[in-house]
Amino acid sequence: MLGDINPAVLIASLMVASVPIILAAIGELVVEKAGVLNLGVEGMMIMGAICGFVTAVATGNPYLGFLGGAVGAAALSLVFGFLTQFMLSNQVATGLALTLFGQGLSSLIGQGYNGVKPPLTGTVPLGPLADIPVLGRILFDHDWVVYFSVASIAAVWAVLKYTRVGLILRAVGESHDAAHALGYKVIRIRILAIMFGGAMAGIGGAYVSLIRVPQWTDGITAGAGWIALAIVVFASWKPWRVLLGAYLFGGITVLQLNLQAAGAAIPAHYLSMAPYLITILVLVVMSSGKGRASLNAPAALGQNFHASR
Amino acid sequence: MLRLEKRPSPSRFWQAATPILAVILTMIAGGIMFALLGKNPVEAIRTIFWDPLFDPQYAAYSRPQLLVKAGPLILIATGLSLGFRAGIWNIGAEGQYIMGAVFGAGVGLALYPVETRWIFPLMILAGIFGGWLWAMIPAILKTRFRTNEILVSLLLVYVAQYILAAMALGPMRNPEGGGFPGSRNLSQIPSMANPELIAGTGLHWGVVAAIGVVIAAYVLLQRHILGFQIKLAGQAPRAARFAGVSPERLVILCMGISGGLAGAAGLFEVTGPAGQISIDFNTGYGFTAIIVAFLGRLNPLGILLAGLLMALTYIGGELASFILGLPSAAIQAFQGMLLFFLLAVDLLTNFRIRFGSKKEAI
Amino acid sequence: MQRRSILKGGAALGFATMMGGKLAFAQGLEKVKAGFVYVGPIGDGGWTFQHDQGRLAMMEALGDKVETVFQENVPEGADAERVLTQMALSGCNIIFTTSFGYMDATNAVAAKFPDIKFEHATGYKRDTPNVSTYNARFYEGRAVMGTIAGLMTKSNKIGYIGSFPIPEVIQGINSSYIHAKKVNPDVTISVVWAYTWFDPAKEADAAKALIEQDVDVILQHTDSTAPLAEAAKTPGVIGFGQASDMAEYKPSPRVSAIIDNWAPYYTERVQALLDGTYAQKDTWAGIGGGEVKIGDITDAVPADVKAKAEAVRDSIASGAYHPFTGPLNKQDGSAWLKEGEVADDGTLAGMMFYVEGVTGDIPS
């Protein structure tokens, strides 16, 4: 049975399937690195999906659509930023409320857009490269967002590791009091991180409504935002592992559907649980190591900051 | 320039006034949204907040329904609030709620068609056990391996959802249901049902349990040493340690209590209002309860009120939806706004807003 | 899991028809207030959208004699019973509950309001005289799609994206396969279970997985357009609209569609209430009754294929042909229907077996 599945195609499919969760997860990773836990990813994604869709339909330009998705979701994330950073509200509760609000608002904006077909986004023309056997199908036959998603991981990785911006961001996430004492504007940095997270989730959502489906229907993101949250944890806040995690989560779904199509009988529900259980296992292995440092979780994650002096 | 100054202790006045302020702000913002949608804002707000309680046509039915809707929210939120106070973050109540229903229904269905009085109590125990067991996984991982309980409890929600789907499609599928997923209707089997206890009141065992738990939690926090330890651990973890509070024990206890109560809520729902195990059995009570816990300021009596307010927006929202033809999405957005405002104005309880320069403070 | 399907026991059907006249109202109504309870948002573009289209068409047909209220996104279970009661209190004369999962709630509320009529879609319980049930024979539409699929496939492989392993979907798989096979003896069918009615991303992946196995005709039993969008990426792959027309993918990959059309039923029932001829019944209508509509067959399909498909459609509509007509064997080779024998509704409503030639097992 397994012999009937072409691995090149399987890999190519899972790369496409993982794009929305990669984008949302890498955005959330930056947010969490700054010490903020925003559980509203699903709400931001679906806002991105509708804002991107509306923009693309209105302008006829899919690229502007992605921009619109990023802006719309970033605007929504600003609500979260304002509440948690200025009004010092609890991040867990605010994030959950953000998802509720985003789902409602997106559906309101989307009324009248059912059955509309958005302008199409083509694959990036890489000419003869796409014709290379196996590799061509895996690497050189995708739309630009697929490349963008991988590039964004590389960029986040490089920025966090090598730049001053990354250093400051991590400092804020580790100890806001220390960062504040060093003269960094904790609140401002966190707000910017939250907006970045929103924008990336928005692009991820727009990918669903503009390329994956492509159409607007209520609830179109169907829980992808929650998976993105799980992947950040799986990745233990390391950018490249986000890619691995997203391919694992996306891959299991794609694989089980492919196995079915190839005629294999598989227990779909139990297989679908596997990535979550693996993530828990990874968490346990990491945290049972040498204390907090090996866990790599930002120490100030989920705590609000108020400069008392 | 505006500046925040931490109050030495939370303001009693603002603690009571902020929820009212938030509701008023929501009415204004929501009213604008309804007006934009072409509906009469006054009528819409009245339908949501007034009609379920006082409208002659609906109130007799809707008022008791508030209890039915608020019951599970209060039951779960009260359990969660204990942990939240101690800095223990169980956000996987949704999963524990599911597992409570699965375990409880499993026991009941395994005994079908036995008809005796002790089946329902046995199912309650099984439900509590299911929720407790599911909460023990993050608790033990936390105490043994220092694994983050927020993340593990959240991940286990997804696992629970898949287990629920597998159960509804497989072992628990009603053999007389014509092949459709979903179990037998437990609320129609006398020995397993959780019926309305007094007609027209909405009271079922889950509501009774919720009220009991609120009282118990209040007493615990005010009078019992464990309540003191919980508060101490949340406010001053180091001091708590010196005072002999074992953090491990507290994690196990708080997670266990919240999981068990979420499991109980699941069991009361599956045997009562929901009636059966189905793929869509869980409708987000576990997550909404987190919000309710915070709206109630982690205080048992506050949670009771917050749960009822939340239930009011659900039921009033339903009425507004079909009487005025408001899209259900508008109701969802309205609820989101209410939560935002409630969370935002809490600031006034703990902080003073000062005008002026930075130096004059504490 | 949401909504839908199955009808238990054909016997009830006869009973209701027989009793029909006696339960009728002697007197009509001046004006009817009709309530609709929806499981999803109207904007789902599929199941709920089609029910709402039916409501609108009914309003159009009956003008100011009818007033409607509706409620979207009503979860099955606890909330349904409350929403139904509130609707009954609001003075509705008739309430349509449009999802399978509302079955117990509908019957419970109906028992409390004997003067209000309740209409439950896709269920089989009619505990009190004021509950009627209605459903559509979607498998009739699948027969037409299967005919097109069998004639159009070049790889001789057709694919079926299933939602949940329930009788309605099994009927669809069997009907599609039987009619594809009838016109193309070499055809095989691959079934992929998505375990969802609506998850665009997953449906797209399912379609892709099928295409990867050389499938070039995709039938879907899930509600999003994602499989069609996926099919559009590979030249030569075609599919069909599901629930709604999905006309935006015309002329290809969407070469036809199987459309839920509730308008005739809603109009008929409310009209009966106005006339005073309303009676409890159990309706399971198909192409003939107008509840299942075959969407426009596009020019991407050769004229002779189109003609054959339309012939199947018309013979089903006229009642001359039943999609499950013997000789048919079950998957294990045991005999099911003899030559010329027609499947009875009871067996169909509980159909949990494949016919001979379909490979794979029904997951349990």
Q: Can you give the pLDDT of all 362 residues of chain B as single tens digits? A: 567 777 777 777 887 788 888 889 989 999 999 999 888 999 999 999 998 899 888 888 888 999 999 999 999 999 999 998 888 889 899 999 999 999 999 999 998 888 888 899 999 999 999 999 999 999 999 998 888 888 789 889 989 999 999 999 888 888 887 777 888 888 888 888 888 888 777 788 999 999 999 999 999 988 888 888 888 887 777 788 787 788 888 999 999 999 999 999 999 999 988 888 988 888 889 988 988 998 888 899 999 999 999 999 999 998 988 888 888 888 888 888 888 988 888 888 878 877 765 544 43
CB pairs under 8 A between A and C: 112
User: Residue B144: closest CA among chain A residues belongs to which residue?
Assistant: A288
Structural domain contains residue B97? yes
Q: What is the pLDDT of residue B311?
A: 93
Residues 6+ away with beta carbon under 8 Å from B222: none
Inter-chain CB proximity A277 and B4 less than 8 Å: no
Best of B180, B270, B283 to disrupt the C interface (most C CBs within 10 Å) is B180
Among the partner residues C43, C247, C359, nearest to A107 by beta-carbon distance: C43
- Give the three-class secondary structure for A53: helix
Best of B34, B80, B146, B341 to disrupt the A interface (most A CBs within 10 Å) is B146
Interface of B with A in 52-71 (CB under 8 A): none
Taking the C-alpha atoms of residue B251 and residue B89, their distance in angstroms, rounded to an integer, is 9
Yes or no: domain A2-295 corresponds to CATH 1.10.10: no
Structural domain contains residue B235? yes
The single residue listed with the structure tokens 């079955």 is C103
The single residue listed with the structure tokens 């039993």 is C221
CA-based nearest distance A34→chain C, Å: 31
Structural domain contains residue B32? no
Among the partner residues B62, B180, B269, nearest to C86 by beta-carbon distance: B62
Structural domain contains residue B194? yes
Inter-chain CB proximity A218 and C363 less than 8 Å: no
Residues of B in contact with C87 (CB under 8 A): 322
Is A155's pLDDT higher than 50? yes
Q: How many domains does chain B have?
A: 1
Taking the C-alpha atoms of residue C219 and residue C179, their distance in angstroms, rounded to an integer, is 13
Residues of A in contact with C234 (CB under 8 A): none
Among the partner residues B272, B280, B322, nearest to C76 by beta-carbon distance: B280
CA-based nearest distance C241→chain A, Å: 12
Kindly list the partner chains of chain B, i.e. chains with 3 or more CB atom pairs below 8 Å: A, C
Structural domain contains residue B275? yes
Among the partner residues C1, C6, C81, nearest to B178 by beta-carbon distance: C6
Inter-chain CB proximity C248 and A117 less than 8 Å: yes
Helix B205-223 to helix B300-324 angle (10° resolution) is 150
What is the residue-wise DSSP string for C153-174?
-SSSEEEEEESSSSHHHHHHHH
CB C226 within 8 A of CB C201: yes
Taking the C-alpha atoms of residue A92 and residue A89, their distance in angstroms, rounded to an integer, is 9
Residues of A in contact with C205 (CB under 8 A): 13, 17, 253-254, 257
Taking the C-alpha atoms of residue C319 and residue C239, their distance in angstroms, rounded to an integer, is 27
The domains found in chain C, sorted by start residue, are 11-136+261-285 (3.40.50.2300), 138-259+302-345 (3.40.50.2300)
Residue C52 tokens read as 């709402």
Q: What is the pLDDT of residue C7?
A: 36
CB pairs under 8 A between B and C: 106
Q: What is the pLDDT of residue B338?
A: 87
Strands C117-121 and C131-136 turn out to be parallel
Best of B51, B322, B334 to disrupt the C interface (most C CBs within 10 Å) is B322
- The sign of the dihedral angle between the CA atoms of B329, B335, B340, B341 is positive
CB C97 within 8 A of CB C126: no
Residues of B in contact with C8 (CB under 8 A): 178
Among the partner residues C44, C200, C209, nearest to A212 by beta-carbon distance: C200
Among the partner residues A92, A101, A277, nearest to B340 by beta-carbon distance: A101
Among the partner residues A96, A226, A295, nearest to B291 by beta-carbon distance: A96
CA-based nearest distance B28→chain C, Å: 25
Q: Could you read off the pLDDT of A110-154 as tens digits, one per residue?
A: 888 877 778 877 777 777 777 777 777 777 778 889 999 999 999
Give yes or no for A4 touching B (CB within 8 A). no
Structural domain contains residue B332? no
Reference C122, options C79, C166, C82; nearest CA is C166
Q: What is the pLDDT of residue B169?
A: 87
Inter-chain CB proximity A101 and B336 less than 8 Å: yes
Inter-chain CB proximity C101 and B182 less than 8 Å: yes
Cβ-based neighbour number of residue C292 at 10 Å = 24
Structural domain contains residue B271? yes
CA-based nearest distance B9→chain A, Å: 15
Residue A202 tokens read as 């928005």
Inter-chain CB proximity B330 and A104 less than 8 Å: yes
Backbone phi, then psi, for B146, in 5-degree steps? Answer: 60, 30
Q: Which value does ipTM take for this structure?
A: 0.86
- Give the three-class secondary structure for A264: coil
Inter-chain CB proximity A100 and B141 less than 8 Å: no
- Give the three-class secondary structure for B135: helix
Residues of A in contact with B295 (CB under 8 A): 93
Best of A28, A79, A80, A88 to disrupt the B interface (most B CBs within 10 Å) is A88
Strand order in the sheet with C131-136: C66-71, C32-37, C94-97, C117-121, C131-136, C282-285
Inter-chain CB proximity A104 and B335 less than 8 Å: yes
Residues of B in contact with A37 (CB under 8 A): 150
CA–CA distances in Å: residue A100 to residues A44, B65, B287, B322, C201: 10, 22, 10, 20, 21
Taking the C-alpha atoms of residue C44 and residue C40, their distance in angstroms, rounded to an integer, is 7
DSSP B114: -
Residues of B in contact with C166 (CB under 8 A): 179-181
Domain extent at residue B208? 66-302
The single residue listed with the structure tokens 């993050």 is B138
Best of B6, B148, B314, B341 to disrupt the A interface (most A CBs within 10 Å) is B148
Taking the C-alpha atoms of residue B171 and residue B164, their distance in angstroms, rounded to an integer, is 10
Best of C73, C202, C212, C218 to disrupt the A interface (most A CBs within 10 Å) is C212
Q: Could you read off the pLDDT of A10-52 as tens digits, one per residue?
A: 888 888 889 999 999 999 999 999 999 999 999 999 999 999 9
Cβ-based neighbour number of residue B82 at 10 Å = 28
Taking the C-alpha atoms of residue C152 and residue A296, their distance in angstroms, rounded to an integer, is 56
Best of A5, A220, A257, A259 to disrupt the C interface (most C CBs within 10 Å) is A257
Inter-chain CB proximity B347 and A88 less than 8 Å: yes
Inter-chain CB proximity C201 and A111 less than 8 Å: no
Residues of A in contact with C199 (CB under 8 A): 222
User: Residue B155: closest CA among chain A residues belongs to which residue?
Assistant: A276
Taking the C-alpha atoms of residue B333 and residue A105, their distance in angstroms, rounded to an integer, is 6
Q: What is the pLDDT of residue A4?
A: 67
Inter-chain CB proximity C70 and B318 less than 8 Å: no
Strands C335-337 and C328-329 turn out to be antiparallel
Q: Can you give the pLDDT of all 364 residues of chain C as single tens digits? A: 344 433 333 334 334 444 444 444 447 788 999 999 998 888 777 889 999 999 999 999 999 999 999 998 888 877 898 999 999 999 999 999 999 889 989 999 999 999 999 999 988 889 999 999 999 999 999 999 999 999 999 999 999 999 888 888 999 999 999 999 999 999 999 999 988 887 888 888 899 889 988 899 999 998 888 899 889 888 899 999 998 888 888 888 999 999 999 999 999 999 999 998 999 999 998 999 889 999 999 999 999 999 999 999 999 999 999 999 989 999 999 999 999 899 999 889 889 899 999 988 888 7
Among the partner residues A110, A218, A253, nearest to C205 by beta-carbon distance: A253
Among the partner residues B37, B146, B343, nearest to A97 by beta-carbon distance: B343
Q: What is the pLDDT of residue A308?
A: 55
On the CB side of C33, how many CA atoms lie within 13 Å of its CA?
A: 12
Interface of A with B in 202-221 (CB under 8 A): 218
Structural domain contains residue B100? yes
Taking the C-alpha atoms of residue B37 and residue B290, their distance in angstroms, rounded to an integer, is 30
Residue A163 tokens read as 């730049």
Among the partner residues A4, A117, A224, nearest to C201 by beta-carbon distance: A224
Inter-chain CB proximity A276 and B158 less than 8 Å: yes
Is A87's pLDDT higher than 90? no
Among the partner residues B147, B340, B345, nearest to A284 by beta-carbon distance: B147
CB B5 within 8 A of CB B355: no
